[in-house]
């Protein structure tokens, strides 16, 4: 029994040290002190004590003496790691070096510092940015009718194109010294969100020039001459830009583009110069059909060694005016009835001077690094903002519709099946907006979140699709019958577009999030990999040795933390934040430790084969993603002052995340090929079994009521979407009816009570409102309120219908606008392209 007590004391001592991440020297000193103690008071035979000291010294001396440790322990591991760690191509290396790591790195430690997150300041709009949102953005939304754009014109109206250019919508990110707005990432996001909430094509049109495109590339990498020439023209809308990367043979694997630029001599303005002769084929290029300035990605080659000894120069970016001989541009794709300009382009024997390379000739071959740096920012803003816009629109319209629409003499929002869908819409919208704001705030403070950009792109577009699907289910025939009064149908049609672009979501989830995050955000792995690639073996081995010691201690710490936090259900770590949500921080700390431990074991067991085990990689990516989404959710709650009405949204968002993370861990353990490792991980991660449950029904009911009742909670949730006060607008009509129906409800209850008590009797031909008024149950003013509410309700539940010939658009009504009408670039006629 005494021996068991000493053993328990030893295990407890090691566990406490590991839990608190004590350094190696402190662990060594603590074990030595333990041995001294048991030697003095343990009453053991002396050979037993001597044996323990021999074992201890045999381990402790090599571990704490770097020269001995490298010779006896880490030399073979160094060689093995050189053969086990994943190889990196040049494009993968560029992707890893792009951008920065931020809160994702904190989550990878397994011990996130919640105080650091809560203290992180969120961006705020400047007075100029707020004025732009309240002025030109609102005006632009009123100019555009979504049905007219998507059904009649297949294009924005000419006055909208003109307004976009005159008000500087294409120069939001261009610095003021070049004539642009110089707006923050938050302003860029808010503008995109408001425009997309009214008309998704309008949002897409503004999104592209301010995301990955010529302007951002010029700002970062352009020569002074290029910036001085193009940026003012882009800011004024005199140039319409597009960027061409994707082609028929290079979609998700964009780095394998077959498009070529051959360094050669050619005639230019009457002189013979060294330039590039380009041949390419691109597709899916937004703004391509009307672009005047084409950003092009291609692979450059120098077979005649005109620039140097190297023949394959690598991916290169150039700016090409679309009037250049050999450029074929102007045709359109027709993506799911969306009207934004999108199309293919080609180039045949297009000769350009080297000065057209973005950044000049010295940047030839550096295009992939340039793209990865820009994508880390642009992908964090545009698509997540557009997705959040549609989720907020789904929340607003579904909440109003379920209060207005009745079945079985009750608003449909009172039925639990509808409440379940409303709860998902409301909570997803809250989580999405929290992640959007946190990410753009990081960008505004200098971060370029390469890994988190993939997280928000994937998860926010997927949650948008889920919100739209739920909204369509709730609104039924109102959602599926297209027409001027349908505010959801086009969003439903075009939802797959954002899922597909800027890295398809399947690729992003299964390969990018964890594949990039594991090496970039892991505290030691990338440094270890670089040490094994060091051209000086001795220096590489020394660096690897130092890193490995820290890595092993970190791994042991996460194992101890995962087990002890699992046993204690998170109570061994301090909470953070407000009292109602403090326990959620503890649970996320537990999941962070479990994630860090599982990720390390999976990489150790699977090695470079993890790149092929995409389902395991995807689940590990989900763990990282849900940790980030839950972190953003809790931070939003704190930053907004912990409003009581928002608590159900926070509860649903975090509890859903915990349940999903638990499921993903279970799936990883079931599919990990090394069963011994899987069994050990299960004992460490789930010592008390799985106990996270999906959010309770009562939480969902609270969220449903929040969406159905206008108030501060709903206003915070849908803040930033376009709200029309015009009853002729589809959403304006809904909000008008919503207010009138709510005003009429107390009067309706009075009438219902009179009928129940028998003081109001109706003939089958009687009009209820007139009968109640004549019987004195309600006043004439109350009767008028009921009539207005009933008429407004009927207007909302009505769906559009047409004469058959109205659905066949005449050729003239389908034509896009010619340049003299828009004052802008040529837009091809639809009868040429459809």
Q: What are the tens digits of pLDDT across the range 140-185? A: 999 999 999 999 999 999 999 999 999 999 999 999 999 999 999 9
User: How sure is the predictor about 824, in pLDDT bands with cuts at 50, 70 and 90?
Assistant: very low
Task: Please tell me the predicted confidence (pLDDT) of residue 343.
Answer: 95
Residue 484 gets the label, from left (phi > 0), alpha (psi -120 to 50) or beta, of alpha
Helix axes 2-19, 537-567, angle to 10 degrees: 120
Q: Give the pLDDT mean for 662-673.
A: 96
User: How sure is the predictor about 742, in pLDDT bands with cuts at 50, 70 and 90?
Assistant: very high
The number of C-alpha atoms within 13 Å of 566 and in the hemisphere containing its C-beta is 24
Instruction: Identify each DSSP E strand in 460-605 by its residue range.
Output: none
Q: Which helix (H) or strand (E) holds 244?
A: strand 241-244
Q: What are the tens digits of pLDDT across the range 387-410? A: 999 999 999 999 999 999 999 989
Output 58 or 192, whichever has higher pLDDT: 192
Question: Residue 815 has what DSSP assignment?
Answer: P
Neighbours of 54 (CB within 10 A): 10
Q: Answer whether 107's CB lies under 8 Å from 457's CB.
A: no
Catalytic residue annotation: 502
> What percent of the chain shows pLDDT beyond 90?
65
Q: What are the tens digits of pLDDT across the range 462-507? A: 999 999 999 999 999 999 999 999 999 999 999 999 999 888 899 9
Query: In the chain, what are the helix, strand and coil shares in percent, each to the nearest 5?
Result: 65, 10, 25
Of the given ranges (315-319, 416-420, 548-552, 637-641), which has the lowest mean pLDDT?
A: 548-552
DSSP SS3 for 343: strand
Judged against a pLDDT cut of 50, whether residue 647 lies above it is answered with: yes
- Domain ranges (residues) in the chain: 2-64, 95-121+392-715, 128-381, 730-801
User: How sure is the predictor about 516, in pLDDT bands with cuts at 50, 70 and 90?
Assistant: confident
Q: Give the pLDDT mean for 546-560.
A: 89
Residue 260 gets the label, from left (phi > 0), alpha (psi -120 to 50) or beta, of beta
Task: Please tell me the predicted confidence (pLDDT) of residue 86.
Answer: 59
Task: Give me Rg for the CA atoms of the chain.
Answer: 31
The number of C-alpha atoms within 13 Å of 49 and in the hemisphere containing its C-beta is 14
Task: Please tell me the predicted confidence (pLDDT) of residue 2.
Answer: 57
Q: Give the pLDDT mean for 310-328.
A: 95
273 bridge partner residues:
266
Q: Which long-range contacts (CB under 8 A, 24 or more apart) does 142-149 make?
A: 142/724, 144/198, 144/199, 144/202, 145/199, 145/484, 146/198, 146/199, 146/200, 146/201, 146/487, 146/490, 147/483, 147/484, 147/486, 149/199, 149/201, 149/202, 149/339
Closest CA to 782 of 736, 756, 745, 754: 745
Please give the CATH number for the structural domain made up of 128-381: 2.40.110.10
Q: Answer whether 135's CB lies under 8 Å from 791's CB.
A: no
Task: Please tell me the predicted confidence (pLDDT) of residue 768.
Answer: 87
Of the given ranges (98-112, 334-348, 419-433, 695-709), which has the lowest mean pLDDT?
A: 98-112
Q: What are the tens digits of pLDDT across the range 624-633? A: 999 999 999 9
Q: Answer whether 297's CB lies under 8 Å from 338's CB.
A: no
Average pLDDT taken over every residue of the chain: 88
Please report, for residues 614, 624, 670, the alpha-carbon distance to residue 250 in angstroms, rounded to integers and kept in the order given. Answer: 20, 28, 35
104 CA to centre of own chain: 13
Please report, for residues 129, 421, 726, the alpha-carbon distance to residue 660 in angstroms, rounded to integers and kept in the order given. Answer: 38, 18, 42
Q: What are the tens digits of pLDDT across the range 92-107? A: 666 666 678 899 999 9
Q: What are the tens digits of pLDDT across the range 756-774? A: 888 887 766 568 888 888 8
Judged against a pLDDT cut of 70, whether residue 540 lies above it is answered with: yes
């Amino acid at each position: 029994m005494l021996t068991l007590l000493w053993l328990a004391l030893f295990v407890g001592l090691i566990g406490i040290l590991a839990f608190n991440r004590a350094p190696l020297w402190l662990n060594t000193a603590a074990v030595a002190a333990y041995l001294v103690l048991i030697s003095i008071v343990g009453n053991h035979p002396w050979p037993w004590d001597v044996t323990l000291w021999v074992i201890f010294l045999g381990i402790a001396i090599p571990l704490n003496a770097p020269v001995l440790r490298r010779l006896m322990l880490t030399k073979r591991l160094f060689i093995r790691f050189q053969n086990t760690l994943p190889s990196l191509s040049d494009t993968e290396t560029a992707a890893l070096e792009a951008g920065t790591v931020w809160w994702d790195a904190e989550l990878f430690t397994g011990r996130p510092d919640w105080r650091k997150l809560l203290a992180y300041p969120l961006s705020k709009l400047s007075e100029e940015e707020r004025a732009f949102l309240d002025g030109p953005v609102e005006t632009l939304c009123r100019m555009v009718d979504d049905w007219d754009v998507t059904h009649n014109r297949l294009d924005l109206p000419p006055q909208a194109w003109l307004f976009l250019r005159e008000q500087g919508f294409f120069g939001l990110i261009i610095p003021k010294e070049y004539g642009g707005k110089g707006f923050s990432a938050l302003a860029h996001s808010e503008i995109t969100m408001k425009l997309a909430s009214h008309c998704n094509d309008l949002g897409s049109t503004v999104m592209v020039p301010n995301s990955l495109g010529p302007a951002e590339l010029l700002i970062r990498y352009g020569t002074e001459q290029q910036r001085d020439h193009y940026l003012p023209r882009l800011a004024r809308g005199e140039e319409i830009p597009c960027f061409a990367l994707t082609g028929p043979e290079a979609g998700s694997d964009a780095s394998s583009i077959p498009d070529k630029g051959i360094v050669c001599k050619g005639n230019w303005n009457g002189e013979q110069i060294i330039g590039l002769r380009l041949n390419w084929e691109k597709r899916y290029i937004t703004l391509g059909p009307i672009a005047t300035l084409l950003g092009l990605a291609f692979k450059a080659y120098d077979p005649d060694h005109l620039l140097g000894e190297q023949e394959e120069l690598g991916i290169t970016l150039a700016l090409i005016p679309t009037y250049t001989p050999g450029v074929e541009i102007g045709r359109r794709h027709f993506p799911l009835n969306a009207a934004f300009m999108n199309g293919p382009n080609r180039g045949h024997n297009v000769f350009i001077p080297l000065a057209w390379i973005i950044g000049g000739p010295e940047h030839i071959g550096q295009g992939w690094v340039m793209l990865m740096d820009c994508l880390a920012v642009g992908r964090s803003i545009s698509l997540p903002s557009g997705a959040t816009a549609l989720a907020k629109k789904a929340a607003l319209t579904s909440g109003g519709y379920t209060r207005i629409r009745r079945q079985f003499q009750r608003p449909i929002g009172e039925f639990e099946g509808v409440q379940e869908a409303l709860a998902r819409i409301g909570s997803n919208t809250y989580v999405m907006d929290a992640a959007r704001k946190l990410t753009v705030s990081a960008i505004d403070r200098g971060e370029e979140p390469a890994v988190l950009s993939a997280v928000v792109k994937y998860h926010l577009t997927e949650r948008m699709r889920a919100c739209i699907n739920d909204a369509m289910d709730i609104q039924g025939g109102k959602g599926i019958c297209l027409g001027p009064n349908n505010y959801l149908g086009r969003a439903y049609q075009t939802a797959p577009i954002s899922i597909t672009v800027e890295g398809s979501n399947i690729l992003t989830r299964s390969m990018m999030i964890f594949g990039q995050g594991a090496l970039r955000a892991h505290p030691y792995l990338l440094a270890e990999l670089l040490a094994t690639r060091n051209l000086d073996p001795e220096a590489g081995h020394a660096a690897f040795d130092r890193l490995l010691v820290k890595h092993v201690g970190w791994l042991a710490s996460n194992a101890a933390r995962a087990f002890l936090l699992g046993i204690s259900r998170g109570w061994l770590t301090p909470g953070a934040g407000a009292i109602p949500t403090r326990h959620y921080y503890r649970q996320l700390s537990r999941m962070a430790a479990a994630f860090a431990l599982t990720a390390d074991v999976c990489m150790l067991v699977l090695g470079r084969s993890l790149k092929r085990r995409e389902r395991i990689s995807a689940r590990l990516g989900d763990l990282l993603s849900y940790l980030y989404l839950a972190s953003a959710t809790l931070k939003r709650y704190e930053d907004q002052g912990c409003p009581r009405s928002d608590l159900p949204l926070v509860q649903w968002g975090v509890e859903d995340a915990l349940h999903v993370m638990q499921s993903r861990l279970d799936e990883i353990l079931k599919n990990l090929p090394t069963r011994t490792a899987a069994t050990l991980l299960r004992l460490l991660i789930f010592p008390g079994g799985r106990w996270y449950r999906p959010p309770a029904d009562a939480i969902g009911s609270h969220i449903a009521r929040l969406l159905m009742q206008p108030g501060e909670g709903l206003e915070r949730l849908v803040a930033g979407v376009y709200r029309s006060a015009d009853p002729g607008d589809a959403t304006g009509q809904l909000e008008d009816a919503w207010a009138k129906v709510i005003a009429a409800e107390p009067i309706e209850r009075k009438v219902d009570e009179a009928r129940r008590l028998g003081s109001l009797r109706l003939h089958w031909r009687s009009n209820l409102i007139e009968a109640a008024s004549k019987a004195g149950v309600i006043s004439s003013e109350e009767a008028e309120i009921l009539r207005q509410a009933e008429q407004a309700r009927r207007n909302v539940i009505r769906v559009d219908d047409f004469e058959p010939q109205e659905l066949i658009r005449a050729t003239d009504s389908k034509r896009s606008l010619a340049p003299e009408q828009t004052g802008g670039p040529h837009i091809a006629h639809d009868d040429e392209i459809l």
